[in-house]
Amino acid sequence: MPIHAVHWPARARLRDAFALQATCNCATVFAVRNLVLSVSLCLACSGPPSGTEPAESRLPPNIVLILADDLGYADVGFHDLQDFETPNLDSLAAAGIRFTNAYVTHPYCSPSRAGLLTGRYQHRFGHIHNPKFRAGEGLPLEETLLPEVLAPGGYVSGVVGKWHLGDGPAFHPLQRGFDEFYGLLGGGHDYFKSNGEDAREYLIPLDAHGGKIPVEGYLTDQLSEAALDFVRRHSGRPFFLYLSYNAPHGPLQAPPEALARVDSIADPRRRTYAAMVTALDDGVGAVLSLVEELGLTESTLVFFLSDNGGPTPANASNNSPLRATKGTVYEGGVRVPFVVSWPGRLPAGSRYEPLVSALDIFSTAVAAAGIELPGNLDGVDLMPYLTGAQSEAPHDQLYWYSDEGGQYATRTGESKLVRILNREPELYAIDNDISESHDVSDASKSLTDELVRAIDAWHAPHPGPAWPGTRGERPVHPNTAKALGADQDEIDAWVAKQVYDESRR
Ligand code: CA
């Protein structure tokens, strides 16, 4: 199918937005319309006509990395979404490649993002916990982030959205290679309001262009507007946009008009979640429409993924058919929807089955920019694999470790081993058992032992945590304990075992 037949076109977006306005005179529609008007205004003043510039002359490509927060595995139309729609994410998938065995490096927020932006297992530098707010914790300063590597290639880099890699001055995005930041420094935010600068994490003002601004309207729409502004201002040079939505992470909040668009969903929590994802999908559509109208589609490399699996009890997400949730190293914690699109360079509407990792985004982006890859990366440049130049798999094996419950896992193409502290190792024939429902460790003892040794060898050189977690006050998140099926005795045993070794700090 031709890309233009599936990529969300700006004309259709204008038409549909105004059709919606005609039938529903409400604030969300106005928000959507405003996004569209932003696209139209920028076209009027700055954009080159579509198709006037051959893709080759635009290299190196723009890079747009779109991250969802706590999105359920099933909750995109290109997976198994049943009760609402994500037309823009589906268009992105139809214009590019959908990964079917794709993983992040950690089952919750900050460590996953540390791996994403360094291209290295965050365990290598002790980033295995969320930084506590206003505690001086953050992604270790010795590490190099993606925008720092892209800068010599002439890139301007911006973060729009959630940071969660340290809220102190030294860890600020503008100190880590980004030229611009518009968003929230912590792990989440109220979607409708902010208070003073001394407010708690979810109510602090947004950080924008070096100043502080309040949340106005609905935060997801506000971030989408900021992303459009970034693309508009930098359309004449290579840009790296890290569009890091905090949706659909809690709190569960959506405006009435967005809720009305998914009012066929009876459960109120699921309906709110669906409205939050719908707003995110609107924003993705607006950004892609702007890219298209600026004639940049074939010179823009787009990634979309979630930072971890859905915390199904917390935000009414759906991880089907995966086992468990965010917080666990079962598939429901670390296997995510993941799409890459680069029209003209990558095939449209295709699937890629071998293992890929969020670690690969760093390497792929840097290589696409024509910049030499640093020698210390754990990810690989996916382009040769996706174009067929390389026929083998990018990864033979991936690994996970979370100190909550002392969870380890490793996966090869065929098998996955899960090891949880004080439990026997579990082995799954993951290529035939995506739900991790049949433990075959008894029947495959030698493979089980081999994978346990592989985990030990991977983990042995890692330092301890760069800062203490919250263990002691809350050794394991209640939802994680529940997802792991732990009772209080087991939780107590995890604590007694000193799940991570403080002496290695
Ligand atoms: Ca998350």
pLDDT per position as a tens digit, 443-477: 999 999 999 999 999 999 999 899 987 655 556 88
pLDDT per position as a tens digit, 283-313: 999 999 999 999 999 999 999 999 999 999 9
The whole-number pLDDT of residue 478 equals 86
Are 311 and 317 spatial neighbours (Cβ–Cβ below 8 Å)?
yes
pLDDT per position as a tens digit, 321-332: 999 999 999 999
Which two structure tokens, joined as six digits, stand for 495? 């604590």
Sort 501 into a burial class: Cβ within 10 Å, 0-12 / 13-18 / 19+. Answer: exposed
Catalytic residue check, 109: yes
Which two structure tokens, joined as six digits, stand for 470? 């919250």
pLDDT per position as a tens digit, 351-374: 999 999 999 999 999 999 999 999
Give residue 144 CA to ligand 1 midpoint distance, Å: 22
The whole-number pLDDT of residue 474 equals 58
Are 377 and 120 spatial neighbours (Cβ–Cβ below 8 Å)?
yes
Q: How far apart are CA 470 and CA 142, in angstroms?
A: 24
Give residue 19 CA to ligand 1 midpoint distance, Å: 34
Q: Is the dihedral of CA 96, 237, 364, 207 positive or negative?
A: negative
The whole-number pLDDT of residue 378 equals 98
Cα–chain center distance at 422 = 31
Are 395 and 282 spatial neighbours (Cβ–Cβ below 8 Å)?
no
The whole-number pLDDT of residue 475 equals 67
Could you give the count of Cα atoms lying within 13 Å of 320 in the half-sphere of its Cβ? 9
Give residue 37 CA to ligand 1 midpoint distance, Å: 31
The whole-number pLDDT of residue 468 equals 83
Q: Which of 7, 79, 109, 249 is catalytic?
A: 109
**Cβ-based neighbours of 469, under 8 Å, separated by 6 or more:** 128, 129, 130, 403, 500
Residue 28 confidence (pLDDT) above 60: no
Strand pairing class (300-306; 239-244): unpaired
The whole-number pLDDT of residue 495 equals 75
The whole-number pLDDT of residue 32 equals 38
pLDDT per position as a tens digit, 149-204: 999 999 999 999 999 999 999 999 999 999 999 999 999 999 999 998 889 999 99
List of domains in the chain: 3-386 (3.40.720.10), 398-504 (3.30.1120.10)
Residue 140 confidence (pLDDT) above 90: yes
Using left for φ > 0, alpha for ψ between -120 and 50, and beta otherwise, residue 199 falls in: beta
Give residue 245 CA to ligand 1 midpoint distance, Å: 10
Percent of the chain with pLDDT over 70: 86
Give residue 175 CA to ligand 1 midpoint distance, Å: 23
Are 126 and 403 spatial neighbours (Cβ–Cβ below 8 Å)?
no
**Cβ-based neighbours of 77, under 8 Å, separated by 6 or more:** 85, 86, 87, 89, 90
Give residue 2 CA to ligand 1 midpoint distance, Å: 34
Give residue 413 CA to ligand 1 midpoint distance, Å: 25
Residue 45 confidence (pLDDT) above 50: no
Residue 491 confidence (pLDDT) above 90: no
The whole-number pLDDT of residue 498 equals 56
Buried b (16+ CB within 10 A) or exposed e, 115-144: bbbbbbbbbbbbbbbbbbbeeebbbbeebb
Mean pLDDT of the 210-222 span: 96
The whole-number pLDDT of residue 121 equals 98
Q: Which of 7, 123, 164, 249 is catalytic?
A: 164
Give residue 54 CA to ligand 1 midpoint distance, Å: 38
Mean pLDDT of the 49-61 span: 54
Give residue 392 CA to ligand 1 midpoint distance, Å: 31
- Residue 265 identity: I
Give residue 318 CA to ligand 1 midpoint distance, Å: 14
pLDDT per position as a tens digit, 372-428: 999 999 999 999 999 999 999 999 999 999 988 889 999 999 999 999 988 999 999
The whole-number pLDDT of residue 38 equals 36
The whole-number pLDDT of residue 496 equals 75
Residue 209 confidence (pLDDT) above 70: yes
Q: For residue 79, give the nearest of 434, 414, 342, 430 by alpha carbon.
A: 434
Give residue 69 CA to ligand 1 midpoint distance, Å: 4
**Cβ-based neighbours of 167, under 8 Å, separated by 6 or more:** 131, 133, 134, 138, 185, 186, 201
